[in-house]
Amino acid sequence: VVSQLNRAGFEAYIVGGGVRDLILGEEPKDFDVTTNATPNQICKVVKNCQRRIIGRRFKIVHCVFGHRESQIIIEVATFRNNEESAAGRSSGDAGMLTRDNSYGDSIEEDSKRRDYSINALYYSPKNRIIYDFHGGYYDILKGTIDMIGDPVVRIHEDPARIIRAYRFAAKLGFKISERTMKGFEGNFSLIKNINSSRLFEEVNKFFLSGYGYRSFKVLKESNILKLFLTEQGVVFDSDYFNGFIGESLKRSDLRHRQGKPNMPAFLYAVLLWPLVNSMLNRLRTAPGFIHSSEKSIIDLIGAKVIASQLAITNFPNMVQDIIMEIWRLQADLDNGMDGVDNVEHVIANKFFRAGVDFMRLRAFMDDSLTDACESWEEEYEFQSARALMFRKAKSRGKSGGSDDADVERTIEELEILNSRRAKERARASEREQSLKKELKKSGRKARGQEKTKTKSRKKRSGKEKIKGGSRRGDESLNLTEWM
Ligand code: ATP
Ligand code: MG
C-alpha cells in the first residue's frame, strides 16, 4: 500500500501500533497507514485489494487483502490536524470528538492528534526512517505510556484515551507516566461519557486479544473494572469473582494463542456470572420462587442483569441471546446426562459446546460439578466424531470413493454405536434411581421425627448444584433493587 502511494507521488507511512510492536519485537495485530492522499486518491492508487471508504466524521479507506479468516485489513487515513483541541473543541454525546475532520499538511501535524507518544511513530519503508516527534522511541525503551499534549485536555476531548492507556499498560506491561496519571486523577468519571457501543468494543479489546488475564489484573488493581460492569455488590471482591473470571481469561488467552476464536457473548456470560449466580442462590429459596423452575429464575435474573449491563456496554441483540442461552443451558447440564429428559435436544443446542465450556469453568470453582461436566464433554466428543465420520462417509460416497452400500454400512455402524450408548445411559440411570431410593429409605430411618424445617429446600435439592458466588456472605447485595 505504502509503495503504491509513494510511486504515485504521495507521502505514505506506517504508523501507530504496528511500528510500536515491531520495535518491541512483537507481532503487530494490524498495520495503519497515513498519507497525504485523500480517500478518493487512495482508492484510485491502491490497486491489488478491495477498497472501502468508511467513517462518518473522518473518512478513511480500508484496503482489504485476502478472504475471510485470512483477511488482512490495512487502514489508510489521510493526515489530520488537531487544531480544534487548542480551541477547546466541543465533544459530542459520545464523549468523542465531533469536529475532528480536517486534513493536516504533514506527519508532524498529524502526530499531535494521536494519543500516546508510543503510538505516534511514523515509519517510511522507502527511506527506512522512523520519524518521532514526541520521544515515542525512548518511551518504548523505557516502557512508558505518555500522553501527547496536555493529558487533561486530551481526555476531555476523548475519555476513551484513559481506557486505552490501561489497555497498553496491560498489553505491553508498560507504566503510565506520572504526568499522564496526574491528568487522569479526579477524571475517571469521564469514562461514563463514552458511548456504550464504543465502550463495548474497547472492553472486548482488553479481554479478547490474548492478554485478557493481564488486563483483568491491571483493571482490578486500578479500580477501573468496576466502571465497565454493572453493580456487583460484594460479589465483585469475592474469591469466586476473581477465581472464576481469572480462570476463564487464562483459558481464552490460551485459545487466542492457538488461533481459536473467543466470543464476546461468552466473555460477558463469564463477567456477569458471579452476580447472576449469587442472585440465583438467593432466589432459589426465596418465598415466591420455591416452585419456579431453574430456567425461569435464570430468565428473570438474566434479563435484569443484561439490561443493566447494556446501559454501560451496549452489545447487539444476538450477543444478548447467546449469553442467555449459555446461562439457561447450565440448568440442563447440571442435571447430568441422566437427569435430562432429552439428551439429544440438549446436545442439539447451537451453543452446547459453549455451555459445556462454561460449565467446566464453574466446575473449576465447584468440584461437585466435575463428573456431570466430564460426561457432557465426553458426549460432545462422541457426537462430533460421529458427525465427522458421517460427513467423511458421505463425501466418499459422492466422490465415487465408495458406493452407496458403503455409506449405508457406516451409518448403520454409527446407529448401532449410538443405540448401544443410549442403552448404557438408560442402565446407568436405572442404577442411579435405585441407589437414590435406597438412600431415601435409609435417610428416612435415620432422620426419624426430624422432618420439620426446610421442606422446600429438600424438594429443590436437585437444583442446588449451581453455587459458589455467595459462599462468602453477600448478604449486603440488595436483591430488591433487582427484582
Ligand atoms: P493495537 O495494538 O490495539 O491495534 P494501536 O495503537 O494500533 O493498538 P488502534 O486502535 O489500532 O491502536 O489505533 C491506531 C492508531 O490510531 C494509534 O496507535 C493511535 O496513534 C491512533 N489512535 C487510535 N485511537 C485514538 C484515540 N482515541 N485518540 C488519539 N489517537 C488514537
Ligand atoms: Mg492497531
Angle between helices 264-284 and 317-334 in degrees, nearest 10: 50
Q: Mean pLDDT check: name the lowest of 81-95, 220-234, 272-286, 361-375.
A: 81-95
| DSSP-derived secondary structure letter, 91 | B
Amino acid at 76: V
16 lines ligand 1 (CB under 6 A): yes
Q: What is each CA distance from 99 to 57, 85, 160, 380, 439, in whole angstroms?
A: 7, 10, 16, 53, 73
Residue 22 pLDDT greater than 50, yes or no: yes
Q: What is the pLDDT of residue 444?
A: 62
Residue 145 pLDDT greater than 70, yes or no: yes
Q: Mean pLDDT check: name the lowest of 30-39, 252-261, 391-400.
A: 391-400
Stretch (H or E) spanning 181: helix 178-184
Furthest CA-CA distance within the chain: 95
Q: pLDDT (tens digit, 9 = 90+) per residue, 287-341?
A: 888 888 999 999 999 999 999 999 999 999 999 999 999 999 999 999 888 788 8
> Which residue has the CA at smallest separation from atom 25 of ligand 1?
115
Mean per-residue pLDDT of the chain: 85
Residue recorded with cell 496526574:
182
What end-to-end distance do the CA atoms of the chain give, in Å? 56
Q: Name which residue leads in pLDDT, 244 or 448.
A: 244
- Confidence tier at 400 by pLDDT (50, 70, 90): low
Helices (runs of H) and strands (runs of E) counted in the chain: 23, 9
26 lines ligand 1 (CB under 6 A): no
Q: pLDDT (tens digit, 9 = 90+) per residue, 26-79?
A: 988 889 999 999 999 999 999 989 999 998 778 999 999 988 777 889 999 999
Q: pLDDT (tens digit, 9 = 90+) per residue, 195-222?
A: 999 999 999 999 999 999 999 999 999 9
Q: What is the pLDDT of residue 402?
A: 58
**Best substitution site from 115, 146, 256 to test ligand 1's pocket, by max atoms within 8 Å of Cβ?**
115
Residue 81 pLDDT greater than 90, yes or no: no
Residue 391 pLDDT greater than 70, yes or no: yes
Gap between the Cα atoms of 62 and 73, Å rounded: 6
Q: Which residues contact 130 (CB under 8 A, 6 or more apart)?
A: 19, 23, 121, 122, 123, 124, 137
Residue 450 pLDDT greater than 80, yes or no: no
Neighbours of 360 (CB within 10 A): 18
Taking the centre of ligand 1 as the mean of its atom positions, its distance from the CA of residue 280, in whole angstroms, is 40
Gap between the Cα atoms of 242 and 64, Å rounded: 40
- Confidence tier at 401 by pLDDT (50, 70, 90): low
**Best substitution site from 75, 114, 166, 203 to test ligand 1's pocket, by max atoms within 8 Å of Cβ?**
114
| DSSP-derived secondary structure letter, 210 | S
Q: What is the pLDDT of residue 291?
A: 84
Q: What is the pLDDT of residue 441?
A: 73
Atom of ligand 1 nearest to the CA of 96: 27
**Best substitution site from 31, 32, 72, 96 to test ligand 1's pocket, by max atoms within 8 Å of Cβ?**
32
Residue recorded with cell 454493572:
230
Stretch (H or E) spanning 365: helix 352-365
Q: pLDDT (tens digit, 9 = 90+) per residue, 328-342?
A: 999 999 988 878 888
Ligand closest to CA 26: 1
Q: What is the pLDDT of residue 435?
A: 73
- Confidence tier at 379 by pLDDT (50, 70, 90): confident
114 lines ligand 1 (CB under 6 A): yes
158 lines ligand 1 (CB under 6 A): yes
| DSSP-derived secondary structure letter, 103 | B
Amino acid at 151: P
Enter the C-alpha cell of residue 285.
429459596
Q: What is the pLDDT of residue 407?
A: 67
Q: What percent of the chain has pLDDT over 90?
A: 63
- Catalytic residue (one of 21, 32, 100, 366): 32
Q: What is the pLDDT of residue 290?
A: 82
Q: pLDDT (tens digit, 9 = 90+) per residue, 156-190?
A: 999 999 999 999 999 999 999 999 999 999 999 99
- Confidence tier at 96 by pLDDT (50, 70, 90): very low
357 lines ligand 1 (CB under 6 A): no
Query: To the nearest 10°, the Cα dihedral for 356, 359, 360, 361?
Result: 130
> Which residue has the CA at smallest separation from atom 18 of ligand 1?
16
